[in-house]
Amino acid sequence: MWEVITRSRKETINLGYTLGRFLKCGDIVLLWGELGTGKTVFAKGISLSKGIDSRKVDSASFVLLKIYEGSDRIFHYDFFRIHSPDEIVELGFFEYVEEGISVVEWPHYLIEVLGEIPFLEVFIEHFNRNWRKIRIISSHKRFKTTINKLKKEYRG
Ligand SMILES: Nc1ncnc2c1ncn2[C@@H]1O[C@H](COP(=O)(O)OP(=O)(O)OP(=O)(O)O)[C@@H](O)[C@H]1O
Ligand SMILES: [Mg+2]
């Protein structure tokens, strides 16, 4: 587990960017946090690290999945409006998973169906106005080195 405070949108983008550099095809990142905490901002950072124009990255309501082509493909999910894990399976989540990096906002239904599949979690909380407390956690061996590299490389 690693905890960091970001003091601006830009710092959160940079944190996502630094993490993104160490992510590879097949990785799954779950973004937890209330409305407007910065999940999409974090996803922009990850996408930037793969050479994707971050202006393309948003989480418009009713769009469950956006796909961005970069040095790795990014599958950006927003499951705020779904009502069951079945919708995730029907959408093709498990068919896509090895085709790129999956970045998931509102992953509460997804975790019900992930089973043994490894994932990394990012918890974002309001700290004060433009500050966010961000915790990066994974119990899976695959991501231990990812988190260690991030700790070493992140410069604020
Ligand atoms: N330190 C910070 N990190 C990230 N965003 C910040 C920070 N400080 C202020 N903000 C602002 O908070 C907002 C975060 O919006 P964002 O769309 O990323 O939230 P979200 O968690 O994806 O919300 P939703 O659940 O509606 O999808 C942006 O307007 C951003 O500019
Ligand atoms: Mg969002």
Compute, in degrees rounded to 10, the torsion defined by CA atoms 94, 141, 124, 58: -30
Contact 70, 96 (CB under 8 A): no
Which of 8, 40, 104 to mutate for ligand 1's pocket (most ligand atoms within 8 Å of CB)?
40
Q: Would the pTM of this model clear 0.85, i.e. be above it?
A: yes
How many angstroms is it from 62 CA to the middle of ligand 2?
12
What are 3-42's pLDDT values in tens digits?
999 999 999 999 999 999 999 999 999 999 999 999 999 9
Atom 14 (ligand 1) nearest CA? 38
Distance, CA of 153 to chain centre: 18
What are 66-121's pLDDT values in tens digits?
999 999 999 999 999 999 999 999 999 999 999 999 999 999 999 999 999 999 99
What's the rounded Cα separation, in Å, for the pair 45 and 144? 20
Question: What architecture is domain 2-153?
Answer: 3-Layer(aba) Sandwich (3.40)
What's the rounded Cα separation, in Å, for the pair 34 and 138? 20
Sheet containing 120-128, strands listed edge to edge, beginning at the edge strand earlier in sequence? 2-6, 131-137, 120-128, 28-32, 101-105, 74-78, 65-68
Boundaries of every domain in the chain? 2-153
